[in-house]
Copies of this chain bind each other. A is one copy, B any other.
Amino acid sequence: MRQATNAAVGEDCAVYFSRDFSRLPAVALLKGLAAKPYDLTGPAGLSPERISAYRCGAAGFDLLYACQRLDDSVLAGLQQLADESGAVAQFGMMKKGAVLNRIVGFASEERQVLHTACRDLFSDSPQAGEAAAEARTELAKLREFLGELDSGKIANSKGEVFTDLVHVGIGGSDLGPRALYLALAAFRQKGRRVHFISNVDPDDAAAVLAGLDLSRTLVNVVSKSGSTLETLTNEELVRAAFAKAGLKPKDHFLAVTGKHSPMDNPERYLRSFYMFDYIGGRYSATSMVGAVMLGFALGYDQVLEILRGANEMDQAAEEPDLKKNPALLLALLGIWNHNFLGHQTVAILPYSQALVRFAAHLQQCDMESNGKSVTRQGKDLAWQSGPIIWGEPGTNGQHAFYQLIHQGTVIVPAEFIGFRHSQYQSDLLIKESTSQEKLLANLLAQSLALATGQVNDNPNKRFAGNRPNVILLGERLTPYSMGALLALYEAKVVLQGFIWNINSFDQEGVQLGKKLADRLLGHFAGRRNDPQYSGADRDELGWAMLQAAGLVDK
């Protein structure tokens, strides 16, 4: 039904599905410019004027991009690339409900992409009204539930309040929520802690459960399909632990799942919250997937602040001028470094310990979205799609892998993230500077050092420079700014996907491994039921692997 009402939007979008990246005039132009990229080293490279001019801001963040290997002619080419690919136009259509999760002419998911609707709550006329209304309904349920927890109306069998919540999910139901929780732990409500179980490795659940008073613990099970192997397995492990402790799971377990999924069962859960098929897992942190856990930890108002920040950035991402749209600019700088200068990876380097798992979230958000090899018309790509994303917080990384970034033979485009003020505001003046100043000085110094390099008579002390990087700066890491940062990267990823003309919203690449794993699990079950069982005749490679691994005998 929703698809029908948005048919017009979908049709408008189809025109972009035939715009192959490699045939865009801007691509030929940029290829030419890439033959001699801007030189950041030497006196003519970086200047105060350039540093001041190459800045762009929105929703509380400034993007400093003077340390990229480009000049105004490249920027013009990148603007042309954005325009020719219709990236921003498609972003707008996405927000209105276009069916962008599809491969034309082949079986595909055929879905809208409406994670932005989860936070389109702050105006009277949301862009995708029906989805925004569904988001409001779930938020109202959450607000009521959290109120009942606060008032003690919902409590354990002894009438005690719940102090802990175990969040059980994997992939998008884990990485984004976990990154946000760690980022915002400084804002936790007193007496509330959250724990995460994701891996099917039984040691993951065992380690978490070992330290908990289950009688005062809620369990939040998150799976859109209600059938994720790891999550259901871990749910059973946790239910068994509750049963063993003489507790009724029904009084402790929450579900976040799709309507009518196998998990949508009020007999098994204290409360259920819904997510919808127009929200991809890796874009779902601002849906109930993240909001239930974050609401428990931070309170409802802080959840709204996250949504408010994300919505602000979603709006900024519709600006067609790259100089005023940090998400678009970040997307285009990435394409410049990846497709034209040939760098295969991007390092995400937050100078904020609280962002310790943000890169891990972006690995999914970016690589699962854009690690593709066919166009939206099912043709083999003749160009590179998404890069490899990796990274760790600074200054830690400086003492780890920065050696290679400065002096290695592989070039690593870097995205630094920092904040002018700390979260806890607990700091000391040591040797004439605060820790926060030390942190920021290191961030800026790394950016400069990578760009300018250093000459030296000792070849081992030479730095070639010309290592491209950007700095993304916010005022302070709060629920609002975290929401904006999350949305900034979500928008970067989908804008890149639009430019590459790929479907950033499916994940067919995870299916083959699942299929083969099921087959191997069949062998374990077969061997358990019949010691004479052999899988050699029906699956010779899988069986040979089990033998070589010493997991079955001959």
Contact = CB atoms under 8 A, between A and B. Distances in A.
Contacts of A172: 399
B424 A512 contact: no
A130 B525 CA distance: 55
A435 B363 contact: no
Contacts of A199: 353, 393-396, 439
25 contacts: A47-B544, A48-B536, A48-B544, A201-B352, A202-B434, A204-B353, A205-B426, A205-B435, A207-B424, A229-B438, A230-B438, A345-B345, A367-B404, A368-B400, A371-B405, A373-B409, A384-B409, A385-B409, A388-B390, A402-B509, A404-B509, A444-B549, A445-B519, A447-B545, A471-B549
Contacts of A90: none
Given A407-B371, A407-B372, A458-B106, A438 B521 contact: yes
A230 B458 CA distance: 28
A270 interface: no
Contacts of A517: 438, 441-442, 444-446
Nearest to A343: B344
B400 A363 contact: yes
Number of copies: 2
B201 A439 contact: yes
Interface string A339-377: 000001100000111100000100110011011111000
Contacts of A393: 199, 201
Contacts of A459: 103, 106, 374, 378-380
Nearest to A383: B409
Interface stretch (A92-100, A232-240, A297-305): A232-240
A516 interface: yes
Nearest to A477: B203
Interface in A499-534: 503, 506-521, 524-525, 528
A426 B378 CA distance: 46
A234 to B, nearest CB: 8
A52 B203 CA distance: 29
A163 interface: no
Given A409-B385, A445-B520, A550-B62, A201 B404 contact: no
Contacts of A544: 47-48, 51-52
A403 B51 contact: no
Interface in A393-418: 393-396, 398-410, 412, 418
Contact of A344 (B51, B345, B440): B345
Contact of A422 (B174, B201, B515): B201
Contact of A389 (B370, B383, B401): B401
Contacts of A410: 344, 371, 384, 386-388
A42 to B, nearest CB: 12
A52 B547 contact: yes
Interface in A105-125: 106-108
